[in-house]
Chains A and B, each alone.
Chain A
Amino acid sequence: MADEPQVIDSPAAKKIIAPGYTFGTVTDQIASVVLTKKTPYVVMGAFAVALGLLLLFLLAVGLLFVKGLGIWGVRTPTMWGWAITNFVWWVGIGHAGTLISAILLLLNQQWRNSINRFAEAMTVFAVVCAGMFPVLHLGRPWLMYWLFPYPNTMGIEPNFRSPLVWDVFAVSTYATVSLLFWYVGMMPDLATLRDRSEHRALKVTYGILAMGWRGSARHWAVYETASLLLAGLATPLVLSVHTVVSFDFTIGIVPGWHSTFFPPYFVAGAIYSGFAMVLALAIPLRSIYGLKGLITDQHLDNAAKVMMATGLIVGYSYILETFSAWYGGNVFEQSAMWNRMAGPYRYEYWVLIACNVIAPNALWSKKIRGNSVLLFIWSLIVLVGMWLERFVIIVSSLAQDHLPSSWGVFHSTRWDWATYLGTIGLFLFLFMLFIRLLPMISIFEVRTLLPQAKIKEETGE
C-alpha cells in the first residue's frame, strides 16, 4: 500500500478521471471518507443545520397530527396547495439519479461511473421526502394503508381508474426499485469497506451488508447481467413515474391541466431539476472532500449540458402551452393562461420564466459551465424555478377554474414553510449520513475507468 503514492492532480480538460490514480489510490481515497478521515467542520455545521430543520419538520408534522390540515394554507378551491407542489418537485428531483444510473449506463456513458452512487442516493432520499406530502395531505395520515388494495372488513377497495391510485403504485414501485438498484450497486463497495475497516464492529456491520461478496468472476458475470437488466427496467420506470404524476393533472378537466403534452413536459422538467440538484450536491462535496480528481470539471460540464438541454425542452413546453391555449380557442384555457401571466400569481409566473427559460441559456457559455461557483448558483436558480413552476401549475389553475364565483387566492402559512423546509432538512440529514457511512462514489466502477483496467491480451496463442 505504501508503494503506491497518493497522486491527486487536477485533471486535464476532457478527462473524467485525473491521471496518476491506481486501483489502490482510488479505493483508499473514497474509502477514507468513511473509514479514516475526520469529518470536516463545514460538514458538521451543515449537519447541525439539517438536524435543526429535521426537528422543525417533526414539530410541523406533530402539530399537523394534533390540529389537522387547517394549519396549512390549503382552503377551497386551492386544496392541493404546497403539499402537492412539494411532492411533484421532490419526485422530479429524484429522476436525475435514475437517469444517471440507468439510462446513461445503457448508453455506455462512462462519466456516469463517478457520480452515479450519490445521484442514486439523492433519488432514494428525494422520493422519501416526496412520499411525505401526499400522506400528510390525506387529512388522516394514519389511514394511509387504505391507499393499497388489501382484504378488509369494510368491503371497499381503491378505484383503479383514478390517477391518484396509479400514483400510489408508480411512486411506491419507483421507491422500491431505486432502493434495490442502489443497494445492489453498493454490494462490491461494501465488501471493500469490510476488508478495509480495522474496527471489529465495522467489519461485522459492513460484512453483513456486503452479504459475503468476494469478487468472484462467477459473481461478476451474473452481477453485470443484473445491472444491465435493472437499468433496462428502471429506464421505462423513470419515464413512467413522472408521466403518471402528470396524469394527476391531465386526467382532470381543470383548465391549464387538461392537455396531452404534460407527460414529456413533466419528465423534462424532472430531469432538469434533478440535474440541478446533482450539481448543487456535487460541487460542494468535491471541494470539501478533495475529490476533484474523480468528479472533474468535465462531469460538471456534462451535467450542465444535460441541464441546459432539458431546460430548453421545458422552455419550449411553456411556449407550446401558451400557444395551444390561444390556438385551441377554448375560452377557459385562454383565461387560465391569462390569469397565470397577469393574475394574482403573475410574480411567481414571471420569476419562473426568468429561472427556467432565460437563465439556462447562460449555460451555452463554456466559461459559466467551467466555473463551479457560478454553476452552483445556477443550479439553485433552477431548483427555485422548478418549484415555482409546480406551484404555478397547481395553484393558479385551482384558484381560478371554470366558475368565477368559486375563485380564491392561496396564502401559504408558516407551517407550509416549516413542512417544506423540514423536508429539505430531512433530505440533507439522510444525505449527510449517507456520505459519512457509505461510499459516496462507486469504487469498483471508478476502477474500471483507469487505463490499467484495460486487458492486454497475450497474442500468438
Chain B
Amino acid sequence: MTKPIYGVMAEFDNPSALVNAARAAREKGYRRLDAYSPFPIEELSDALHLHRNMLPLLVLIGGIVGGMLGYALQYFVAVIYYPINVGGRPLHSWPAFIIITFEVTILFAAIAAVLGLLGLCGLPMPYHPVFNVPRFALASRNRFFLCIESTDPLFDHDQTCQFLETLEPREVSEVAH
C-alpha cells in the first residue's frame, strides 16, 4: 500500500463541464466530493445538494440577541443605573430607545453573518491538501476542479481515476495529504 492520499482531482476548463461532472459523480454514488470554481455557480450547488445552510438561523439569533442587548443597555442605564428626572418625564421613554436598538440589532446580525460564514466554511484554514496540486492555483482564475476524497466509501484509486477520465477532463491528478 502506498502513502494515503487526500483524493483524486479532475480539472475542467469550463463551468458546464464541472456541473455535469459533479452531477455524474453524485449519480455514481460518490458523496464525499467537492467542486472548486473561480466564481459561485448556482447549478453546482444544486448538483451537490448544498442549498441548505445554518447561516440564516445564526444571523437571526445574532439580530435578536443584539436587539435585546441594545434595548436592555438603554433600559438599564436610563431607568436603573443613572436615572435623570427631567420635569417628571417617564424614565422608560421607549420611543427614544428604538434607534439604538435597531442599530445594535444590525451590528450583531452582521457580525454573526461574518463569523458564521467563517465558522461554517472552517476558515481561516492555514493548510489544505488541495493546494498540493500545482495546477490548483488556477482554481482562482479560470479552471474548474472536482475532487473525490479518499474517505468516500466508494473510493478506489484506480476505479475513481477511471471514472473521472470518462468525464473528459483536461487532467486527472492525485491530491497528496
Contacts and interface: CB of A to CB of B under 8 A. Distances in A.
Contacts of B103: 166, 169-170, 173, 237, 240, 244
A236 B106 contact: yes
Interface in B102-130: 102-104, 106-107, 109-111, 113-114, 116-118, 120-121, 123-128, 130
A23 B38 contact: yes
Given A218-B121, A220-B45, A160 B20 contact: no
Contacts of B42: 224
A412 B140 CA distance: 52
A244 B123 CA distance: 36
Contacts of B78: 160-161
A211 interface: yes
B125 to A, nearest CB: 4
Contact of B100 (A166, A192, A216): A166
Interface string A58-81: 000000000000000000000000
B140 A192 contact: yes
Interface stretch (A348-356, A375-383, A426-434, A450-458): A450-458
B3 interface: no
A217 B36 contact: yes
A453 B15 contact: yes
What interface size band does chain A fall in? 35 or more
A42 interface: no
A176 B110 contact: yes
A311 interface: no
Nearest to B114: A180
Contact of A222 (B41, B48, B55, B136): B55
A52 to B, nearest CB: 36
Given A217-B35, A229-B59, A229-B113, 17 more contacts: A28-B141, A149-B77, A160-B77, A166-B100, A169-B103, A169-B104, A177-B110, A196-B141, A212-B125, A215-B36, A216-B121, A217-B41, A220-B44, A221-B51, A223-B117, A225-B55, A444-B38
A215 B56 CA distance: 21
Contact of A188 (B43, B109, B130, B140): B140
Closest 3 pairs (CB-CB, A-B): A23-B142, A212-B125, A211-B124
Contacts of B160: none
- Place the interface of chain B in its size category: 35 or more
A268 B96 CA distance: 24
B20 A222 contact: no
A347 B110 CA distance: 44
B125 A220 contact: no
B121 A223 contact: yes
B34 interface: yes
A40 interface: no
B55 A229 contact: yes
A218 B34 contact: yes
A455 B41 CA distance: 8
B44 A217 contact: yes
Contacts of B106: 173, 177, 233, 236-237, 240
A226 B126 contact: no
Interface in A192-232: 192, 194-196, 208, 211-226, 229-230
Contacts of A192: 38, 140-141
Nearest to A211: B124
Interface in A162-204: 165-166, 169-170, 173, 176-177, 180-181, 183-184, 188, 191-192, 194-196
A350 B68 CA distance: 47
Interface stretch (A43-51, A138-146, A151-159, A277-285): A151-159
Interface in A429-461: 444-445, 447-448, 452-453, 455-458, 461
Nearest to A442: B39
A399 to B, nearest CB: 29
25 contacts: A27-B38, A28-B141, A155-B82, A161-B93, A173-B104, A180-B113, A191-B140, A192-B141, A195-B137, A216-B34, A216-B121, A217-B45, A223-B40, A224-B45, A225-B56, A226-B117, A233-B59, A236-B102, A244-B99, A444-B40, A445-B39, A448-B39, A455-B15, A455-B16, A457-B19
